[in-house]
Structure 1
Amino acid sequence: MSTSSQELQANWTRSDQYHNAHLIPEDPILSTALQNSDDAGLDRIAVSQSQGKLLHLFARSVQAKRILEVGTLGGYSTIWLARAVPQDGEVVTLELEEEHVKVASKNFALAGLSEKIKIIVGPAAQSLETLRPSFDLAFIDADKQSNAIYYQHAKRLVRSGGIIIIDNVVRQGLVADTSRTDERIEGVRALLRAMKGDEEVDATTVATVGEKGYDGLIFAVRK
């Protein structure tokens, strides 16, 4: 018996919500941050609750003190990451859109994390040129067409033993369907070509399903 895409999505969402209810306590600050983004008309493309918690745990697992984020949006994932670094740690987050920066700044203040987060405004590829190596973790979640560029910079900026996480790399399995193409899909394919045979990292793709649908991330360790 075939299952419709709507039924699949309902099942994935229900599963996420069930597990989250047991493993992730309700957080009024994060809920308000999402509501502030909605109220400002930002696209609903932030990581899910479970994905945010996963980023937080990744950061804690490598005892990250400095984190690089490419793509701030309303700052939901940034808050998860900033909560993982010590008091003297820092998250540097790059964002192009001034409206996104405005909303994110409001959310960082709400979370009491403004002093731990530095926002750099402008095209990420240009902002990355100004940064020096010193990061323990990089999270890339911005325009997919530039993924390969962001990856090369992240590889330069993340320490040996640090990790690079790149979001939205499965895209409902369409990246692997050679009959399908668009700018985002081609951006992921360019990234994969750039990573193929790269001896400076050890990486894998982890496909995910949940309230955000069917997608996935690349997890890479800098050698």
Structure 2
Amino acid sequence: MNHEPSSHALTPPQILLDDIVALDVSFIDFDGREGTGVIEVHKSIADDVRDVFALMHQMKFPLQSVRPMSEFDYDDDASMAANNTSAFNFRTVTLDPTRLSLHSYGLAIDINPKTNPYINGDRVLSEGATYDPAAEGALYLGHPVVEFFTSRGFVWGDAWDKPYRDIQHFHKPWNDSFEERYRYEVEKTLTEHQINLEAIVPKGR
């Protein structure tokens, strides 16, 4: 898998890229039409992601776009503005440039991020987004997509003990085996970019 450097993301080590898989998926768009896309995830959650896309397709839960982050120059703001569902992106946490996101390891996925925004007080991302749980493509407590993810061991970003809501976001928890596998090469990358080495243990967003 290719991953070119950009101004919006770091360049991940090859050992991590080797564990990222690109899944071809089908979905229903907001006009009720069949669509296809590609989502890049860590191989350990590939089956879960295939299954949730099958569920969303079956229930006709609409998605705006499913494109890899390379098509947005790894710019999370641009992807959110396009309401693009995505996962892998080797980057730091939103509003915290000292730590890596779980998206960096392909362990997190964002669903319809403009419909299901990040809300922190008066700050809403994507810019101009509003959250309406009754809207098409919106997620809420008890929604079948939310229930599916949590049944597979994912954490939902609107059901955690944090001072912000990340309604679009689901992730599989970090575990020690990931740190053992990736720590050395990721630390090299972080050192080159003068990022806090504690960032090897990622945060959700």
Larger helix proportion of the pair: 1
- The structure whose Rg is larger is 1
TM range (shorter): under 0.3
